[in-house]
Structure formats: structure tokens, C-alpha cells
């Protein structure tokens, strides 16, 4: 990258010199820029993009959604007007992008939110060919999906090691924003390891200022060698358009998720089996810690990997695989993004003494919890993790498996269904819900999924 940077600086310096000459009195106004300077060709991304753009595809989907019309639901109304008894439906269409990563088998990487729940998926190649795609698998927690097309003569993108990215590296985004057709934008890596954003469970995003807009989702983020470093997935914007803050899922994550989706049709995640909490200055004082680094263990699951490794409530986890552990989200990311069976090394501080503990991620078990254990206002509500079948349907959140009649939650209008958020925070597991229970809210605002893919608020005072 340093050679690219030096050459780019040289080219830009020469371009500036040409621009200055062009405005000097007496110079010809019709003079054109030369095709080369000092024997070097003018800087251009075109040669690299000739190999990249054929691997980036347009994805269009159709989803049939039931229409809830009280008149059509009335059998007397249907009989009077001679309407059929078949449920009323409407078809929703959406557009996104994808990246061919295996030319021989026709595998295309994209976002879960582009294809999840779709009844019909069509992939359009740069050369104009259209193919009906088969959904191989989706993972709502990372927003990654894999589809397959029965096509020949495909061109795939090689995957780069996204862990070697640095802030300031040049990157190029390729996708289909607003359905305009294939579009290329460029920028730099603005930040790495972004988390705490909306609509995703496991987060370790690349942030870039390369323009990303609606329709770019699932498209490619590549380096200057034309290698895939990330899958574009979301933006932060007050207007809905690009303001230079876009996010991509690193290739290190997408490659691992894709391998599991191809092998199993789903992602098999591991778990340490611990509940943890961020260390505040007050907690640091109570535990007699010198600083607030790390996370404190507040609970250890019976029979869990953490229990077998000897972890106890009150232990402070300071590093994970040799890297400082700054937040509960970082630990959660490690659990969700490392392959099942991985062994992690934890530095544990207990009673003022530090020791290293090895913990092997064991299969994640479906957890459930009585809402009364989280907050008194949720007494009588039962929450549980979603089953594999529910996740395969594109659902993401926590199942509300029971609401006791007469409880405060029932009086507020809460019913069985899927909880997708608390306040403005996305929920994808009971473990996350337990963590939020430690945040005391004046009002408990639950976001419950609707049948049409939206959500509604339930406020429990």
C-alpha cells in the first residue's frame, strides 16, 4: 500500500503542476491533459475495476405479504360480494446487491436483510444475464446470507484478510444504489471495529466514507488490489442518503459465516456461558480494582464451558486472546463470531491475582427467563431464544413465549410474539435481554414484531 500511496502522491503533484500551467496567461485554453506524465500513466482505478465489477451483481426479491383487511376477513362480506376464501396478499419488491465469491459453484454473498424471507430471488449479472437464485442460508445476527445461481462463466472476487486493514487504507464500494445500475464510489477506511449500532447482533464493522446508499446493501467493498475486504451493509444518515458514514461486514466474518451456511444451512454458535457487566468506577471501587478495564462476571451457567474452566462470579476478565477487553459487546462478539469449538484465552483477575484461563466455546443452548427476574414490571412474562426453525424463517429477536393474564405487561397490551428491541436497542438473544435488565429505565419500552415485518411499541409503566 505504501508504494501505491507514493505513486498516488507523485501523480497528484504532477496534476497540480499541470493545473497551474493551464491558468498561466498565454497558455492555450484548449490544451488537454497528457495521457502520461514522466512516462507514467495517469492514475485510474479502471484496470482494477475491470476484474471487480463482473463479480458484483444486482439482487431483486419478491415477498408475498398477507393483507389484514377486516372486510375481507368477514365471511358474510365475502359471500355477499362473491369473493374467494383465499387469503388476500400483496407482493413487496426490493433491490440490493451481491458479490460472487465462488465462480465454480455459483455462490453469491449478500445481506440477510436483502434476501431474508423472500419468496423469489433474481440475480442479474453485469453482462445482463438473469438467474433465479436458491437461498443457501441466512444469518440474521451478522446480517449475512448466501444464495446460489446456476450460471457458467462467472467471475469471483478473491477474499482479502480484513484483519490487516488499517485506518486510512483506500477502499472502493461497488453496488447498485437506488436501482440506477452498477455504481462505483471510493474513499478510505474511516474506522475499524465499530459496534453498538442498530439492526445487528454481532458487530465488528468497517467504517468508510466511500458513498453507500440504499441498494448498495450486499455489495462489495474492495481494496486497491481488487480483493474483497467487506460486504456493505448499512449507513448512518439523518436524511436517508449518504453522508460519508457507511459500514461493511469484514471479510473475515463473512467467510466464516458463509462456510457454516454452506455446510449446515445455518450458523452454529458457541457460548462461554457467562453473564457479564461493564465495570463502572463504583464497581471498580467495590472490587478494589485500580481501573475500569475489562468486564466483571455476574453469573456462570450450570454445566457451561465457563463453569468447567473454573470461572466464578466476581472474576474480572481483562483480556481475550491477548487483546484488552473493553466492553461486554467485545466479549459477545467473540462468542458469536468465533467458530464453534474454538478455544479462547482469558486473563482473569481474582482477589488481586491474575491468571490465564482457557475456555472452549461449547454449543449455544436455547435460554429462557422469567421476566420477573429481569424487572418487576415484566412479572408474568416468559422470554426464550428463537428456535432454529424460527431463525430460518428470517426472524430475529427473542420469543415472548407466555404472558400471564392480569399482569402489568398484559394490561399494557403485550402478547405472545417476538420481541425485537428494548427502547432503541436491538435484542437478538436472552443473554442480551439479561444484560439490559441492569439498565434501569424510567419507562420500559418494548418493540414487538408485527406480521408485516414492522414493529409496534408496548410501554409498561
Q: Are residues 79 and 125 in the same domain?
A: yes
DSSP string, 372-437: GGT-GGGTTEEEEEPPHHHHHTT--SEEEEEE-TTSHHHHTT--SEEEEEETTEE--SHHHHHHHT
Q: What mean pLDDT do residues 316-334 have?
A: 84
Catalytic residue among 217, 251, 362, 396: 217
Residues paired with 208 in a beta bridge? 189, 246
Summarised one tens digit per residue, pLDDT across range 125-183 is 998 899 999 999 998 888 899 999 999 999 999 999 888 899 999 999 999 888 788 88
Q: Which of 266, 287, 316 is the last residue of a domain?
A: 266
Domain match, 245 and 274 both: no
Query: What's 81's domain CATH number?
Result: 2.40.10.120
User: Could you give the number of structural domains in the chain?
Assistant: 4
Do both 252 and 293 map to the same domain? no
At 51 the three-state DSSP class reads helix
Task: Mark whether 220 and 285 lie in a shared domain.
Answer: no
pLDDT for 19 beyond 50: no
pLDDT in the model for residue 63: 80
Residue 243 and residue 291 in one domain: no
Question: Residues 133, 255: one domain?
Answer: yes
Q: How far apart are CA 222 and CA 227, in angstroms?
A: 5
Handedness of CA 340, 341, 345, 347 (dihedral sign): positive
Percent of the chain at pLDDT above 90? 24
Which pLDDT tens digit goes with each residue over 70-96? 555 666 656 665 656 655 566 677 788
| Weakest-pLDDT range from 130-134, 246-250, 415-419, 423-427 | 423-427
Catalytic residue flag (residue 379): no
Mean pLDDT of all residues belonging to the chain? 80
**If you count them, how many residues does the chain have?**
461
Which strand (E) or helix (H) includes residue 259? helix 251-264
What pLDDT does residue 284 have?
A: 83
Name the one residue in this structure whose C-alpha cell is 456462570.
300
CATH code at 304? 2.30.42.10
- Active-site pick, 141, 143, 347, 385: 143
Average pLDDT over residues 332-348: 83
> What is the chain's alpha carbon radius of gyration, rounded to the nearest angstrom?
26
Q: What is the mean pLDDT of residues 263-277?
A: 83
Do residues 375 and 449 both lie within one domain? Answer: yes
Question: What number of CA atoms fall less than 13 Å from residue 13's CA on the CB side?
Answer: 8
What CA–CA distance (Å, rounded) separates 267 from 257? 6
Mark whether 149 and 277 lie in a shared domain.
no
Tell me, what's the pLDDT at 25?
A: 40
Q: Out of 187-191, 274-278, 344-348, 416-420, pick the least confident.
A: 274-278
380/249 same-domain check: no
Candidates 60, 113, 141, 375; catalytic one: 113
Domain that holds residue 317: 270-363
- Strands in 120-124's sheet, in edge-to-edge order, are 130-132, 120-124, 56-66, 89-102, 107-110, 144-148, 134-139
Is the per-residue pLDDT at 18 higher than 50?
Answer: no
- What cell was used for 443? 419507562
- 121 with 262, same domain: the answer is yes
Same domain, 261 and 276: no
315 is catalytic: no
Pair (200, 285) in one structural domain? no
113 noted as active-site residue: yes
Taking residues 36-58, what's their average pLDDT? 84
Amino acid at each position: 500500500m505504501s508504494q501505491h500511496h507514493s505513486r498516488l502522491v507523485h501523480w497528484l503533484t504532477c496534476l497540480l503542476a499541470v493545473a497551474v500551467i493551464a491558468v498561466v496567461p498565454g497558455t492555450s485554453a484548449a490544451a488537454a491533459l497528457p495521457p502520461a506524465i514522466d512516462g507514467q500513466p495517469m492514475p485510474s482505478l479502471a484496470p482494477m475495476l475491470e476484474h471487480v465489477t463482473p463479480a458484483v451483481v444486482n439482487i431483486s426479491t419478491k415477498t408475498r405479504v398477507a393483507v389484514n383487511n377486516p372486510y375481507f376477513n368477514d365471511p358474510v362480506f365475502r359471500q355477499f360480494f362473491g369473493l374467494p376464501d383465499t387469503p388476500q396478499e400483496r407482493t413487496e419488491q426490493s433491490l440490493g446487491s451481491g458479490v460472487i465469491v465462488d465462480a465454480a459453484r455459483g455462490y453469491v454473498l449478500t445481506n440477510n436483510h436483502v434476501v431474508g424471507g423472500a419468496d423469489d430471488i433474481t440475480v442479474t449479472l453485469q453482462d445482463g444475464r438473469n438467474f433465479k437464485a436458491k437461498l443457501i442460508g441466512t444469518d440474521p445476527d451478522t446480517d449475512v446470507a448466501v444464495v446460489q445461481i446456476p450460471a457458467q462463466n462467472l467471475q469471483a472476487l478473491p477474499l482479502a484478510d480484513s484483519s490487516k486493514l488499517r485506518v486510512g487504507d483506500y477502499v472502493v464500494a461497488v453496488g447498485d444504489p437506488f436501482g440506477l445500475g452498477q455504481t462505483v464510489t471510493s474513499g478510505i477506511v474511516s474506522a475499524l471495529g465499530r459496534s453498538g449500532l442498530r439492526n445487528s447482533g454481532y458487530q465488528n464493522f468497517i467504517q468508510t466514507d466511500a458513498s453507500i446508499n440504499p441498494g448498495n446493501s450486499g455489495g462489495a467493498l474492495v481494496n486497491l488490489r481488487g480483493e474483497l475486504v467487506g460486504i456493505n451493509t448499512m449507513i448512518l444518515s439523518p436524511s436517508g442518503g449518504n453522508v460519508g458514514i457507511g459500514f461493511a461486514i469484514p471479510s473475515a466474518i463473512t467467510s466464516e459465516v458463509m462456510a457454516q451456511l454452506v455446510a449446515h444451512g445455518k450458523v452454529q454458535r458457541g457460548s462461554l456461558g457467562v453473564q457479564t457487566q461493564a465495570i463502572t468506577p463504583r464497581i471498580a471501587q467495590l472490587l478494589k480494582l485500580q481501573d475500569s478495564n475489562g468486564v466483571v462476571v455476574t453469573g456462570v451457567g450450570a454445566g457451561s464451558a465457563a463453569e468447567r474452566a473454573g470461572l466464578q462470579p466476581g472474576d474480572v476478565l481483562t483480556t481475550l486472546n491477548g487483546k484488552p477487553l473493553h466492553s461486554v459487546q467485545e466479549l459477545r462478539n467473540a462468542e458469536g463470531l468465533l467458530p464453534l469449538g474454538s478455544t479462547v484465552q482469558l486473563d482473569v483477575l481474582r482477589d488481586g491475582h491474575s491468571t490465564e484461563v482457557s475456555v472452549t466455546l461449547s454449543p449455544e443452548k436455547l435460554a429462557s427467563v422469567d421476566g420477573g427476574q429481569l424487572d418487576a414490571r415484566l412479572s408474568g412474562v416468559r422470554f426464550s431464544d428463537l428456535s432454529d426453525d424460527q431463525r430460518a424463517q428470517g426472524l430475529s429477536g427473542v420469543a415472548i413465549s407466555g404472558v400471564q393474564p392480569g399482569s402489568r405487561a398484559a394490561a399494557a397490551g403485550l402478547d405472545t410474539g417476538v420481541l425485537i428491541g428494548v427502547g432503541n436497542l436491538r435484542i437478538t438473544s436472552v443473554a442480551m435481554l439479561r444484560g439490559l435488565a441492569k439498565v434501569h429505565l424510567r419507562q420500559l419500552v418494548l418493540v414487538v414484531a408485527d406480521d408485516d415485518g414492522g414493529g409496534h411499541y408496548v410501554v409498561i409503566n
